[in-house]
Amino acid sequence: MKTSINHIIKTAGLFLILLASLLLLSSCASSADWEGEWNRVGDATYSRSILYITDADSRGFNFSINVYNGNLSGVIENYRATFVNSDKTEAQYSVKDTDAVIRFIQEDGEFNVIFESMEYLESDVFDFSLGTSMIGLYEKGAVDYVNTSLFQMGVLTEEFDEMIQQMLNKTQYLRMMDCFQRFTIEQDNTLHATVHKGSMTDDEYGAVIICYEDGTVSFVMSGEKMLYYTTNSRFSASSGIYPPPIEQWLRAYEEDFYRKQNEAA
């Protein structure tokens, strides 16, 4: 009987040790848990931040960040953060020759990015436009943006919004929403249409959408490549004839582009 009791006590002791070990491990973050695409929570599409983490190991990980304020307005590319605690729930990157630090913290299912400095702004030490920021809470994978569609933003009717979505892929439609950070809507009685002009911070030339009373649409959108689409037979792309509001917009865009080129020279 004594031997049996001792065996039970030893077995219970081993179980408690094993349980404590499992609980300790559950509070640790694997280096692989950091890898992937992280999107900031609560953003609008035109004011968002995306974090990419790769090559995570026991010491740290590589990271890149793209921040948007209408257009792409800040880039951090392939920097290396180092874990600062044994459970790999916090890492940091120290900016050379400054007191600036980026801290990455995973806790209770949340991922927080923090910028700390007594002397510098983010735009002082990184390639960021003034007012652009990386800080905030992030989730891995896709997030729900504040502005979910051009219809929800008040730019287009639901019918025209659905038409635009069918004409563009996901990346292009996201860009279209970026272009309407600010917008105006005008009635054009000559075209029998409404003209929707979108602009962004520091860029007046985002996009123009013309919604005709017959249910057709024409639009132009700036970006890495200028896009012009139309379902209106009077202004087919092959004819080279653009609706007057779009033609005027294209001329103004070109003039602004070359003005900025000359100012930068």
In the predicted model, is pLDDT for residue 128 greater than 50? yes
Q: Which of 190, 233, 227, 234 is nearest to 209 (CA)?
A: 227
Residue 102's pLDDT is: 96
- The tokens describing 202, both together, are 């520091």
Q: What is the C-alpha to C-alpha distance for residues 68 and 223, in angstroms, rounded to an integer?
A: 13
Residue with the two structure tokens 């973050």 = 29
Residue 103's pLDDT is: 96
Sequence-separated (6 or more) residues with CB below 8 Å from residue 139: 38, 39, 41, 111
Lowest mean pLDDT among 30-34, 35-39, 212-216: 30-34
Residue 4's pLDDT is: 52
Residue 163's pLDDT is: 97
- Higher per-residue pLDDT: 5 or 57: 57
Q: What number of other Cβ atoms are within 10 A of residue 3's Cβ?
A: 7
Residue 73's pLDDT is: 87
pLDDT band at 53 (very low <50, low <70, confident <90, very high): very high
Q: What is the pLDDT of residues 171-214, one digit of tens each?
A: 999 999 999 999 999 999 999 999 999 998 777 889 999 999 99
Residue 24's pLDDT is: 41
Q: What is the C-alpha to C-alpha distance for residues 208 and 196, in angstroms, rounded to an integer?
A: 6
Is 25 in contact with 44 (CB distance < 8 Å)?
A: no
Residue 244's pLDDT is: 95
Q: What is the C-alpha to C-alpha distance for residues 101 and 116, in angstroms, rounded to an integer?
A: 5
Q: What is the C-alpha to C-alpha distance for residues 247 and 5, in angstroms, rounded to an integer?
A: 92
Q: What is the C-alpha to C-alpha distance for residues 176 and 208, in angstroms, rounded to an integer?
A: 10
Residue 259's pLDDT is: 79
